[in-house]
């Protein structure tokens, strides 16, 4: 059974609708799922159908306004994607706060996973808010901003060996290989336990390796 709530957040993604599934009464852990451009929360929620979810887990899937988290490519200067980008990152923060305040689930018991645009939002959030997370899956995505912004930003903090998967086609038409590599490098320097994979012939999709990694996280 799927339930719906709305977050208290601001900007273009104000009052974001969130689909809830799993243990919505007394969960101890949560899986947060972020969809890609042109998709929706319901489609992203289907990802959980591919893994065996424990009885103690809440699943949350927010839906972006207009079915996109930000209007332009993720490799352009950040300012070009404002105010949508800051609002999207605010959705992540609001969802984490919801888990804490409503369900008493701390960040160390949260798994964050996203595909495409959603993966970029997840990667960017955890890199700029490094804490202990239960795990992260970045399916065909990477850090947001121009190459100069990625290289020039002073990345600080400690992900404290958060298990993290980043997987992408080496020729993905939307995600440059060098950005995947740069993202893995930044997250490793922030002390994430990074599993980075580049595939041939995958296309813009989620590899079965990523599903397997997610299964290990939720088990």
> Which domains are seen in the chain, by residue range?
3-218 (3.40.50.1820)
Structure tokens belonging to residue 126: 């955890």
pLDDT at 182: 98
Q: How confident is the model at residue 1 (pLDDT cuts 50, 70, 90)?
A: confident
pTM, 2 dp = 0.97
Interval 129-155 mean pLDDT: 97
Residue with tokens 């352009």: 76
Query: E strands along the chain, which residues?
Result: 3-6, 17-22, 29-34, 57-62, 110-115, 135-139, 163-169, 193-199
Q: Is the pLDDT of residue 82 over 90?
A: yes
Cα gap 125→42, rounded to integer Å: 22
Report which DSSP code applies to 22. E
Cα gap 216→144, rounded to integer Å: 27
Interval 164-182 mean pLDDT: 97
- CA distances to 38, 140, 167 from 179, rounded to whole Å, are 22, 11, 12
User: What percent of the chain has a predicted confidence (pLDDT) above 90?
Assistant: 98
pLDDT at 138: 98
């Amino acid at each position: 059974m799927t339930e719906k709530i709305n977050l208290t957040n601001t900007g273009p993604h104000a009052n974001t609708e969130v689909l809830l599934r799993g243990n919505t009464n007394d969960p101890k852990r949560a899986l947060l799922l972020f969809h890609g451009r042109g998709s929706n929360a319901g489609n992203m929620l289907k990802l959980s159908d591919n893994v065996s979810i424990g009885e103690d887990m809440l699943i949350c899937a927010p839906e972006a306004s207009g079915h996109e988290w930000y209007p332009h490519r993720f490799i352009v200067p950040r300012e070009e994607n404002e105010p949508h980008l800051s609002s999207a990152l605010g959705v992540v923060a609001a969802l984490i706060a919801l888990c804490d305040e409503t369900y008493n689930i701390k960040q160390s018991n949260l798994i964050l996973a996203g595909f495409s645009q959603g993966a970029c939002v997840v990667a960017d959030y955890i890199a700029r808010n490094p804490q202990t997370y239960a795990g992260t899956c970045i399916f065909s995505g990477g850090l947001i901003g121009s190459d100069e912004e990625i290289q020039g930003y002073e990345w600080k903090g400690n992900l404290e060996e958060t298990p993290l998967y980043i997987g992408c086609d080496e020729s993905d038409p939307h995600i440059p290989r060098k950005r995947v590599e740069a993202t893995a490098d930044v997250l490793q320097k922030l002390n994430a336990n990074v599993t980075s994979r580049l595939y041939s012939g995958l296309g813009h999709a989620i590899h079965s390796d990523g599903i397997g990694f997610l299964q290990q996280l939720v088990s």
